[in-house]
Amino acid sequence: MNVILVFISVFAQLASAVLAFRLNVIYGWRPAWTLIATALLVMAGRRILTLAILMSDDPSLSTGGIESWELSNAAALATCVSSVLLLTGVALINPLFRSIHEAESVLRFHNEKLEGAARARNAELDLARQIQEKLLPPAPPELQGFDIAAISLPAESVGGDSFDYRPLMTGEWLFSVTDVSGHGVGPALQMAQLQTAFRTLSTAMHDPGEMLGLANRLFHETSPLGHFATAFLCCLDSHSGSLRYAAAGHQAWILRTGGEIKSASVVRGCSCSVGGD
């Protein structure tokens, strides 16, 4: 039984020494792990001496002969050396663990700051989303003979897509669909700017082509380089069934009851009759 226990302890100490040397290879041969690995090897050697005594059939080892005395001294020396090496290794590891603890504290502090910044950003995005939802019209107008519906689902919390409908002084209704390039807060701000421009212009103008041209100049003056928007405006007279429209890079189509599909993507304002279609 003693032989088995000593054999297991020898195996465990050798395995521990191998793992300690492996840590040295991974982390650049730190002195602490070198000393600990050496101490484990010495301890394993001492266990091997003990194992040799237990397994030997030499009567001098069991009767206190000179060989037994030499093995005992070697075992004592091995124990002393391994203890000193372990003590030194642990003493050298202490600053290493202190550095790890300090690094963890720094990481924890920065993680808390990042989490706080993320919460603040999410709160700002949520507020921007609520503001953008308020910019969209609450419900489409109810016009006899026409079914009107619209919805905007941004890819992120906020986006650059928008639609609107406003009454004009002529009794018509102005419908607008806009799409600013990109996603996020920046395009959302540009979308709000463009929508505000259309709403302001609609109070004094009723020609979709002129409104689109003026809004384009205003948008160009305040937009960063490389950013753009597409738009489609139309003025609908529900009484006569006439539709006046203008487009700027925004594809739109007219589907007639007979199945004819007509592109409404034009640069200049055009008009057509939609009564009975």
SS3 for 150? coil
Residue 168 has pLDDT above 70, yes or no: yes
Range of 88-102, 131-145, 199-213, 260-274 with top mean pLDDT:
199-213
Output the pLDDT for position 273. 37
SS3 for 152? coil
Output the pLDDT for position 54. 60
* pLDDT average, residue stretch 157-170: 86
Read off the pLDDT band of 275 (50, 70, 90): very low
Residue-averaged pLDDT of the chain = 75
Residue 102 has pLDDT above 60, yes or no: yes
Range of 33-42, 44-53, 192-201, 254-263 with top mean pLDDT:
192-201
- Listed in sequence order, the residues at least 6 apart from 68 whose beta carbon sits closer than 8 Å to its beta carbon are 53, 60, 61, 62
Output the pLDDT for position 38. 75
DSSP state of 224: P
**Computed from CA positions of residues 33, 34, 38, 44, in that sequence, does the dihedral angle turn out positive or negative?**
positive
Residue 174 has pLDDT above 90, yes or no: yes
Residue 256 has pLDDT above 80, yes or no: no
Output the pLDDT for position 235. 92
Element of type H or E holding 98: helix 66-135
Output the pLDDT for position 173. 93
- Listed in sequence order, the residues at least 6 apart from 176 whose beta carbon sits closer than 8 Å to its beta carbon are 162, 163, 164, 165, 166, 195, 198, 231, 232, 233
**Computed from CA positions of residues 236, 242, 244, 249, in that sequence, does the dihedral angle turn out positive or negative?**
positive
Better pLDDT: 72 or 21: 21
* pLDDT average, residue stretch 143-163: 83
**Which structure tokens are listed for 212?**
């689109």
